Chains A and B, each alone.
Chain A
Amino acid sequence: MSSDLRSLAGVDRLIHEPSRSIILAILAAVESADFLYLQRETGLTKGNLSVHLSKLEEAGYVNIEKTYRGKVPLTLCRLTAEGRKAFEAYRKQLKRFVENTPER
């Protein structure tokens, strides 16, 4: 097995979960997004999204800031530098794997 294919075994397991990779993909494309926007875009329930965000925050990939927009509470999420780096590395690993996988 080539090292390009083997690289998939070394991907960050925390990111290599569909819901979390979608969350990181969205956050990688924006400056910040609130909880509701992420919920809408990912289609996750509040509970699920909350759990995934907590895991990403614990790993230091996501920064969660609780603030207000007017009188409405706003949970603002943004990718940390470490999170951005980790997601980019994950994306490259996945891309390399797909490029080395023959199509039928």
Chain B
Amino acid sequence: MNDHKPSILKRIRRYNFEDGTIEMLIGLIYFWAGVFFKPLPVPNCPISISIIGFIVTIFLAACMRQRYVYPRSGYVNAVSLATGKSVRTFLLSVLLGTVIAVSIFIPFFLMGRNGDGGLSWLTLTFGLVIGIVLILQGFWLGFPRLAVVGLISAGLAVLLSPIVFAGQTYIFSNQQFPYWVVPAWQIFFPVYFLLMAPVLLLSGGIAFLNYLHNNPPLAEDPDEQ
């Protein structure tokens, strides 16, 4: 029984990532984030489009899980806050996560170049943090595809980082569009989102199709029909 419990816990933790809908949801959120931060100033693209898209995406993901996932895998609420120990563990995790996130981001924001407040570090840090989280989750839960997506995120973060490749922080300023003075991070950050979105959608989509193929809805018992 002692050996059985960890495997039960692992299966419960895998439950949310098994069907790929979470990745597809994150992929679409990334897409709308990319539209929100838009890499180029597109005049006819109001912010409300991405906000509406974001809300519709969450609604669609919930419907998709309701329609395809729950009839196959059932429903489990893994968060157990019934005991004092669980509450303490949860609060400690939140506190520790906040401390780590703040200690990673604050030094970077203080090291700004050319007066843009350190935001040129944003693409690199965000992409690397997300990449590391995905790689760790992939190994921890036994989903190699998450580790691959994490590696792509980290790779894109390095490739697109204005710190690594842009000598000048401000670009896209010319005579034709004199008001297009855009900091480099404002170009590369949305580009990171827009490139990661199809990667997440593809990975989640393949996982979802595999899930549907491997988990047909349970048939009625012969003695109960």
A residues whose Cβ falls under 8 Å from a Cβ of B:
21, 25-26, 28-41, 45-47, 69-70, 72, 74, 76, 91, 94-95
Contacts A46-B224, A47-B223: A29 and B75 contacting too (C-beta < 8 A)? no
- B1 cross-chain contacts in A, Cβ below 8 A: 21, 25, 91, 94-95
Contacts A36-B70, A46-B224, A70-B66: A41 and B79 contacting too (C-beta < 8 A)? no
**Cα distance A74–B9 when bound, in Å?**
22
Is A29's CB under 8 angstroms from B70's CB?
A: no
Is A37's CB under 8 angstroms from B8's CB?
A: no
Is B221's CB under 8 angstroms from A26's CB?
A: no
Q: Is B176 an interface residue (CB 8 A)?
A: no
B 36-72 binary contact with A (CB < 8 Å = 1; else 0): 0000000000000000000000000000001000110
Is A31's CB under 8 angstroms from B79's CB?
A: yes
Is B75's CB under 8 angstroms from A74's CB?
A: yes
Is B76's CB under 8 angstroms from A25's CB?
A: no
Is B77's CB under 8 angstroms from A33's CB?
A: yes
**Cα distance A40–B19 when bound, in Å?**
15
Contacts A69-B70, A72-B70: A25 and B224 contacting too (C-beta < 8 A)? no
Is A36's CB under 8 angstroms from B80's CB?
A: no
CB distance from A8 to the nearest CB of B (A): 13
CB distance from A29 to the nearest CB of B (A): 5
- B129 cross-chain contacts in A, Cβ below 8 A: none
**Cα distance A64–B77 when bound, in Å?**
14
Is B66's CB under 8 angstroms from A72's CB?
A: yes
- A47 cross-chain contacts in B, Cβ below 8 A: 221, 223-224
In addition to A26-B8, A45-B224, 16 A-B residue pairs with Cβ atoms within 8 Å of each other are A28-B5, A29-B12, A29-B80, A30-B76, A32-B76, A32-B77, A33-B77, A34-B76, A36-B218, A40-B218, A41-B8, A41-B11, A45-B223, A46-B224, A70-B66, A91-B1
